[in-house]
Structure 1
Amino acid sequence: MRRATAALVEEHWQAQERIGAQVASQALAHWSRVNPHSLEESGAAWLAWMLALVRRERRRSRDQAAAFYRLYRALETGHTVPPLSGEYVGETTTLGELREDWADQADTIRTPEPDDGEEIRLDGFDWPEEPEEHHDRAAVASLISQGPAKVRQHLDQADTDEARGRLDDGGFLQELEDAVDTAGRSSAGAADREVLRGGRDLIDQASKQDRRVVGWARVTDGTPCAFCAMLASRGAMYTSQSTAAGGGRRKPKGAPDGRVRANRRPPVALEDLTRYHNGCHCQTVPIYSRNDFMTPQARDYDRQWQEVTRGMTGAEARRAWRRHIESSRN
């Protein structure tokens, strides 16, 4: 991966992370208005406020992802696609103009580059429409299940627990306060995830219809879980068409012909590559070259995998990897 592309990919997940973190912070602050003693009323008001916030910031995530996609594609292929707005901008643009757009969307400082004047041709392309109703339903389900539903579950359990005694008992009230705090943190994580759905879904759907894309790769955030780090360590997953055309994984350097390292993982599925959990700020990016796609961080995780799981396969290897990653995060 070229240095300029690697830097842009890094900026992309960090910019998306900022959106998610800001939303999580606002969600947690607003959660204080949820009263467990009037859960239906206060929970409904909280949900309405949260859904408006998620919708607004989901659009911001989507706009930012589109600016990244246009610049990233230009750096990788010398061609880009029209703006997400649908505004006609002619048949060509420049790297400088694409960088200006990215800097505006990502709220970063624009540094002039020697190749800013390089002309980039626009390919014919129709951006996918956002499935707003589907995204709204997913957001509502996630927010309710991680927030008010958790509090309701705790209250219902208390109502049926005869040994508990009075609901104003000091021990119960402390447990209820802890349950409300836990639900607030969980719902903030859900809001983070639902907001980033906008940008992630845009890149996923756009890249599937982009004729220049030959595969995808997972890019981790700064502190990935074991599952995300494992996905990143696998490098590129190629489309069936590009693999049939000779775009499979390259032979590891120094390995004899026809042989690969014993504990090389099988290619990851796109379904797994685009799975995200609450608090995850990883991204999946399209690949435009049949060469092995590995960011510096992915190469490091690949090296660690080889060392940690040497002589292991299957569940044993995954358990060893999970212990390794969890210990490194402590």
Structure 2
Amino acid sequence: MRTATAALVEEHWQAQERIGVRVAGQALVQWSRVNPHSLEESGAAWLALIRRERRRSRDQAAAFYRLYRALEAGHTVPPLSGEYVGETTTLGELREDRANQTDTIRTPEPDDDEEIRLDGFDWPKEPEEHHDRAAVASLVSQGPAKVRQRVDQADDGQARGRLDDGGFLQELEDAVDTAGRASAGAADREALRAGRDLIDQASKRDRRVVGWARVTDGNPCAWCAVLASRGAIYTSQVTAARGGRRKPKDSLDGRVRANRRPPVAREDLTRYHNGCHCQTVPVYSRNDFMTPQARAFDRQWQEVTRGMTGAEARRAWRRHIEASRGH
């Protein structure tokens, strides 16, 4: 991966992370006003918050996609707004658009005047109703529903005689705090859903895309680190063009090493957990797609799991990553 592209990818996940962190903080404020007996009202307030930040995530993702594609493929696509801007643009204009969407100040680059041709392209529409349902279900299940369950247990007599017990009240308060943090994490993930989904769906219909790769945030979990360490996962068309299945990257003279990484499917790349700010990006070249961090994880996997296979290797890797994260 070129230095300029690697820097852009890192800036993208950081910009999306800022959205997630901001919405998580706002969700915590909303949580302090939750009444477990009126979840519909709580869900409506959360939904308004998530919708606003989803739009921001989607707009930022589109600006990133246009600039990233120009750098990687030498061509780009029209603006998300559908506004006609002619048949060409420049790298400078694409960088300016991205800076506006991310509220950042950009530094002029020597190649800002480079002309980039626009390919014909139809952006996928956001499935807003689907995203709304996912957001409400996620937020409610992660927080208010669990607290209401505890309250209902007290109301129906399962915990009768404990409502004035200090230990029970502390237990209930702890449950509320835990549920609030979980709901904030869900709000983070749901806000970023629109941007991630836009890149996923757009890249599936982009005729120049040959594969995808996972790019981690600065503090990935063990599974996300493995996904990143695999580099690119190529489309079936690219695999066919190469004459069949790709030879495992960690093979030697046809013999697969014992500590090979777990296989990764296309669907795995687009799964995210609460608090995860990793991203999946399209690949426009058949050359290996590896960020500096991905190469580091690749080396670490080989070292940490040497001589191991299966569950044993996964456990060793998880311990290594958790230790490096300070957990």
Q: TM-score range by the shorter chain?
A: over 0.9
Secondary structure of the corresponding residue to residue 317 of structure 1: helix
Question: Structure 1: how far apart are the matches of 2:252 and 2:199?
Answer: 37
Change in Cα spacing, 1:163 to 1:126, as seen in structure 2 (3 Å) is closer
Secondary structure of the corresponding residue to residue 5 of structure 2: helix
1:264 Cα offset (Å): 2.8
Gaps of 5+ in 1: none
Report what 2:261 is aligned to.
265
- Number of positions where the alignment pairs a residue of Structure 1 with one of Structure 2: 325
Question: Structure 1: how far apart are the matches of 2:314 and 2:248?
Answer: 23
Report what 1:147 is aligned to.
143
Report what 1:8 is aligned to.
8
The aligned runs of 1:63-78 (5 Å cut-off) are: 63-78=59-74
Moved more, 89-98 or 99-108: 99-108
1:103 Cα offset (Å): 0.9
Report what 1:40 is aligned to.
37
Q: Does 1:30 align with 2:26?
A: no
Letter of the 2:182 counterpart: S
CA RMSD of aligned residues (A): 1.8
Change in Cα spacing, 1:152 to 1:2, as seen in structure 2 (3 Å) is same
1:123-154: CA deviation from partner (whole Å, max 9, x where unpaired): 00000000000000000100110111010122
Does the 8 Å CA contact 1:71/1:80 hold for their aligned counterparts? yes
Normalization by structure 2: what TM-score? Answer: 0.95
1:163 Cα offset (Å): 6.4
Does the 8 Å CA contact 1:94/1:120 hold for their aligned counterparts? yes
1:259 Cα offset (Å): 4.8
Report what 2:181 is aligned to.
185
Letter of the 1:34 counterpart: V
The aligned runs of 1:160-175 (5 Å cut-off) are: 162=158, 165-175=161-171
Question: Structure 2: how far apart are the matches of 1:251 and 1:313?
Answer: 15
Normalization by structure 1: what TM-score? Answer: 0.94
1:261 Cα offset (Å): 4.0
Question: Structure 2: how far apart are the matches of 1:104 and 1:149?
Answer: 39
Aligned mate of 1:225, from 221, 225, 243:
221
Letter of the 1:223 counterpart: N
Percent of pairs identical after alignment? 84
Letter of the 2:100 counterpart: D
Change in Cα spacing, 1:130 to 1:122, as seen in structure 2 (3 Å) is same
Q: Does 1:116 align with 2:112?
A: yes
Report what 1:61 is aligned to.
57
Question: Structure 2: how far apart are the matches of 1:245 and 1:213?
Answer: 14
Letter of the 1:241 counterpart: Q
Does the 8 Å CA contact 2:63/2:98 hold for their aligned counterparts? yes
Moved more, 102-111 or 12-21: 102-111
Does the 8 Å CA contact 2:260/2:309 hold for their aligned counterparts? no
Letter of the 2:54 counterpart: R
Aligned mate of 2:79, from 70, 79, 83:
83
Question: Structure 2: how far apart are the matches of 1:115 and 1:224?
Answer: 33
Question: Structure 1: how far apart are the matches of 2:237 and 2:187?
Answer: 36
